[in-house]
Amino acid sequence: MPGIYGPTTTTDEVLEGVDLTGRRVVVTGAATGLGRESARAFAAHGASVTVLARSAERAAGAVAEIAALVPGAELEAAVADLGDLSTVRAFAETFLAGHDTLDLLVNNAGVMACPFGHTAQGFETQFGTNHLGHFLLTGLLAPALLRAAAPRVVTLSSAGHSRSDVDLDDPNFEHGGYSPWVAYGRSKTANALFARELARRAGPKGLLSFSVHPGGIVTDLGRHLTEELLLEMAAFARERSAAAGAAPEGEGSGDITWKSVEQGAATQVWAAVAPELAGHNGAYLADCGLGVLGANPGANGFMAYLLDDDHAARLWELSERLVGATFDVS
């Protein structure tokens, strides 16, 4: 029921009593962590789930693990490395050849605070993987989404968006010093702006699009975190909390409150099914609720630049140029 959810809500609590039979779902980054838990939860409630991972071995392994937990689940393994747009194109072509419609796309995959590097097509790793890979995937799958009765796209953002607005003039750090956390922040802001612009463009066709902050969860996403980066993250969290007027100590103080994987995946699952979100297309979500402008981003707050519609439109146009494709979803 609306209004009873919060930071500790789990995926199974969100989906209690929900029947997803007949719905086709694609989840990126579904080999581990939040992606795998989301895929499991959807499959447990009757959805047909495409488990998308960056290698065939990882995808097949996740399918086997989910099938063991959900006997009789309708699952398929598929491959797309979001850091290599050629694999995204190959997956989309195969998917569209086999499926007329897509009810739900969960853009869950990502990298965080990694060393400076480039994707296969030469984009800065975090912007290229977290944003451009999902931008292209969503655009290519749009025909199937728009043929569905009530399609939704859920894109993972993060409290990390508060580190930086997106830089449309230098997305690849060609003219400035690289910072792992700033790059992550730019990519997560891009995720939220993309979700908002997708809602504006495709909303009239019946598509709902949301961005999500899952909370702090220990998953494979943190594989690049060094002690120095962790200390920097904690210090920024305290500063961010103080700026938002949070209490000096205790919950909400800026110290990270860690969630279980089941709790961390709950908001993206809620975004995928909650009927009460129909009037909030393009919203930023956290803790199974609407984000709050100006509140602590470490909890459920977000920065004002996530509402910059001019920036969102310009990001869409830049992304089309970078991936070499134009998407008319209106």
Q: What is the pLDDT of residues 58-114, one digit of tens each?
A: 999 999 999 999 999 999 999 999 999 999 999 999 999 999 999 999 999 999 989
Say what the pTM is: 0.91
Q: Do the Cβ atoms of 80 and 137 come closer than 8 Å?
A: yes
Domain ranges of the chain: 11-224+260-323
Q: Which three-class secondary structure state does DSSP give residue 118?
A: strand
Cα→Cα distances 271→225, 238, 277, Å: 28, 28, 7
**Which whole-number Å values give the CA distances from 18 to 14, 15, 181, 288, 322, in the listed order?**
8, 5, 38, 16, 39
Find residue 128's DSSP bridge partners: none
The CATH T-level fold of domain 11-224+260-323 is: Rossmann fold (3.40.50)
Average pLDDT over residues 235-262: 60
Catalytic residue among 38, 48, 157, 319: 157
CA-CA distances (angstroms) from residue 126 to 247, 287, 329?
32, 24, 25
Q: Which segments of 224-327 are extended strands (E)?
A: 258-259, 284-286, 289-290, 292-293, 301-302
Give one word for 246, left, alpha or beta, with left for phi > 0 and alpha for psi -120 to 50. Answer: beta
**Does 330 participate in catalysis according to the annotation?**
no
Question: Percent of the chain having pLDDT more than 70?
Answer: 87
User: What confidence tens digit (pLDDT) does each residue in 252-285 have?
Assistant: 334 567 899 999 999 999 999 999 999 999 999 9
Is 80 exceeded by the pLDDT of residue 232?
A: no
List for the chain the helix, strand, coil content (%; round to 5).
Answer: 45, 15, 40
| CA atoms of 98 and 92, how far apart (whole Å) | 10
Residue tagged active-site, from 184, 187, 241, 284: 184
Which residue has better confidence, 2 or 151? 151
**Which has more confidence, 131 or 233?**
131
188: annotated active-site residue: yes
Amino acid at 315: L
Check if 184 is active-site. yes
Catalytic one of 188, 259, 284, 319: 188
Question: 1 pLDDT exceeds 70?
Answer: no
Q: 65: which 2 tokens?
A: 């693990």
Residue 137 in 3-state DSSP?
Answer: helix
